[in-house]
């Protein structure tokens, strides 16, 4: 059975363009506003949506996403409410892939079997769990795959050719290449190095390779999109949500969709620029 993620990348391949993958935190700045933001993302140009699962100890995230998670937790977001957000989104959109991204602890507390069943029923398509290495695939990866969820793994600049087969073994949907060493939003990626890394990964897999960490502008998105199957943007969006909370700030939904529209234009022109 083809998943929404696989179907979306097949369509984008026909259109000869990379995907724009957007990340926002569930429940940020509150549950209702977060739902409106997620509902608005496809219309603004997002091809796939990564939805953060708030967690109190997000070790791989930079300050912007850490603060987004804390805002969400303070507003009462939980994993159960995050799944209800996905269900509400699915009432109006049956095609845009939704990927839950975060850490294993909330899933472990929820119960792996219950979580996988409830995520599938809610309309979740894939999982990115950043603190579960391949050596722990029995914990969540294999049950998720058996249920029909894609399990997306991260590859980094330090993932060498010896390690890469283990990383890719049970990966499905796409490979998420972390373009810089360090936390999210810490630095801008080097498009040339990213393109070389994507080519190296593609020698080991037929899966699409999406690139994230550090992409903030349409120009960067266009540069990265020339050598990748998708461009992931997160910190820029959650920073816009934070700014919307300041006196006189642009409303959160509008602030996010304005950025996404510009990024989408960059992604959609990336291959034209290459030609």
Annotated active-site positions, please?
50, 61
Contact 226, 215 (CB under 8 A): no
Examine residue 103 and say whether the peptide bond preceding it is cis (omega within 30 degrees of 0): no
Q: Residue 268: how many CB atoms within 10 A of its CB?
A: 18
Nearest-5° angle of CA 80, CA 259, CA 188?
Answer: 95
Contact 177, 205 (CB under 8 A): no
Supply the DSSP string of 158-211, one letter for each residue: T--TTTHHHHHTT--S-EEEE-SSSSTTSS---HHHHHHHHHHHHTT-SS-EEE
């Amino acid at each position: 059975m083809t998943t929404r993620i696989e179907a979306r990348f097949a369509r984008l391949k026909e259109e000869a363009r990379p995907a724009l993958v957007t990340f926002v935190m569930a429940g940020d700045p509150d549950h209702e506003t977060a739902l409106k933001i997620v509902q608005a993302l496809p219309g603004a140009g997002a091809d796939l949506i990564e939805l953060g699962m708030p967690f109190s100890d997000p070790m791989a995230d930079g300050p912007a996403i850490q603060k987004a998670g804390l805002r969400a937790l303070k507003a009462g977001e939980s994993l159960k409410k995050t799944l209800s957000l996905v269900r509400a989104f699915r009432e109006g959109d049956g095609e845009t892939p939704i990927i839950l991204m975060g850490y294993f602890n909330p899933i472990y507390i929820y119960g792996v079997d219950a979580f996988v069943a409830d995520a599938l029923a809610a309309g979740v398509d894939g999982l990115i769990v950043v603190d579960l290495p391949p050596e722990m695939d029995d914990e969540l990866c294999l049950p998720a795959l058996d249920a029909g969820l894609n399990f997306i793994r991260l590859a980094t600049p330090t993932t060498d050719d010896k390690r890469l087969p283990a990383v890719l073994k049970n990966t499905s949907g796409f490979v998420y290449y972390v373009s810089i060493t360090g936390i999210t939003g810490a630095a801008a990626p080097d498009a040339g190095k990213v393109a070389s890394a994507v080519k190296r990964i593609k020698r080991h897999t037929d899966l699409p390779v999406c690139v994230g960490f550090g992409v903030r502008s349409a120009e960067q998105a266009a540069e990265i999109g020339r050598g990748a199957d998708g461009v992931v943007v997160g910190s820029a969006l959650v920073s816009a949500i934070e700014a919307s909370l300041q006196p006189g700030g642009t409303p959160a939904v509008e602030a996010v969709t304005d950025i996404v529209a510009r990024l989408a234009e960059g992604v959609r022109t990336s291959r034209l620029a290459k030609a």
